[in-house]
A = this chain, B = another copy of it.
Amino acid sequence: MPDNTEKPVRSGTDTAAGERPRRRQARGERRIAQLLAAAASVFCSAGYTAASTNAIAREAGVSPGTLYQFFPNKEAIAIELGDRLVHEMRETYGEALAPVEPGTPLEEAVAAAVDRFIDFNCRHPVFFALMHGPDIPGRIAEEHDALHATLLSRVEVLLACFMPDTPAADVSRTAQVCLSVYKAALEVVLGHEGAEREAYVRELKDLLVRYLTPLTAPRAGAPAGVPWRNTP
């Protein structure tokens, strides 16, 4: 195993004041994008550990040496890729889990969140492979954990709008269940296409709504199949 001593060389676009600003040329930025796209393809079809850096370089049409001109090691490729994906997700869908104004139906909030995240994952299948792959190394796992924690707290806040009288621990557990269920459904959804895919998305929404509805209605004898309201 190669040594894991810290390397001063920073890859990617951030010209942070590390040690060597390493002015990138336009050609270099193009190569980086190329390599990242190739890595996404290879990671997606083979998983992180099974993807060899030589294969990524070959997919990008460059030599292994060129790859290492831009990334200090294999992990850095996945990290940069994950960073960019998380950044795009935060930017494009950040508001999907924002607390809703009082009175918004639960169905609406669930549908909006599910639709946006499903859409993102369908357009970036690497994301699922990178974040939920079991063979990812430490740094990416950290990144995944951080993202998971962020999403979790977002979902908690969102849920708190609908179940204001529930203890925080229970809300947290409910949020965790929602995220896990979403992840499971995502795997199934990504495994189907067209009408079947949409049917599973529909099923996921129903599942979440049915799971959450009783938690938002303090009275057990409330009528079912009717729009609910939880704001006093």
Interface residues of A, Cβ cutoff 8 Å to B = 47, 49-50, 132-135, 173-174, 176-177, 180-181, 183-185, 187-188, 199-200, 203-204, 206-207, 210-211, 213-214, 220-225
Contact = CB atoms under 8 A, between A and B. Distances in A.
A218 to B, nearest CB: 12
A132 B134 CA distance: 9
A135 B225 CA distance: 43
Nearest to A225: B220
B221 A173 contact: no
Chain A at the B interface: SS class: helix
Given A211-B211, A214-B210, A49 B177 contact: no
Contact of A224 (B134, B181, B206, B214): B214
B221 A211 contact: no
A214 B209 CA distance: 12
Given A134-B133, A224-B220, A203 B173 contact: yes
Contacts of A176: 188, 200
Q: Which of A184, A187, A225 has the most CB of B within 10 A?
A: A184
A49 B33 CA distance: 29
A197 to B, nearest CB: 11
Contact of A203 (B177, B200, B203, B210): B177
A134 B132 CA distance: 9
Contacts of A174: 203
B49 A135 contact: yes
Given A176-B188, A184-B184, 14 more contacts: A47-B134, A49-B135, A50-B135, A173-B200, A176-B200, A177-B200, A177-B204, A181-B207, A183-B184, A214-B224, A220-B224, A220-B225, A221-B223, A221-B224
Given A135-B49, A210-B211, A225-B221, A188 B180 contact: yes
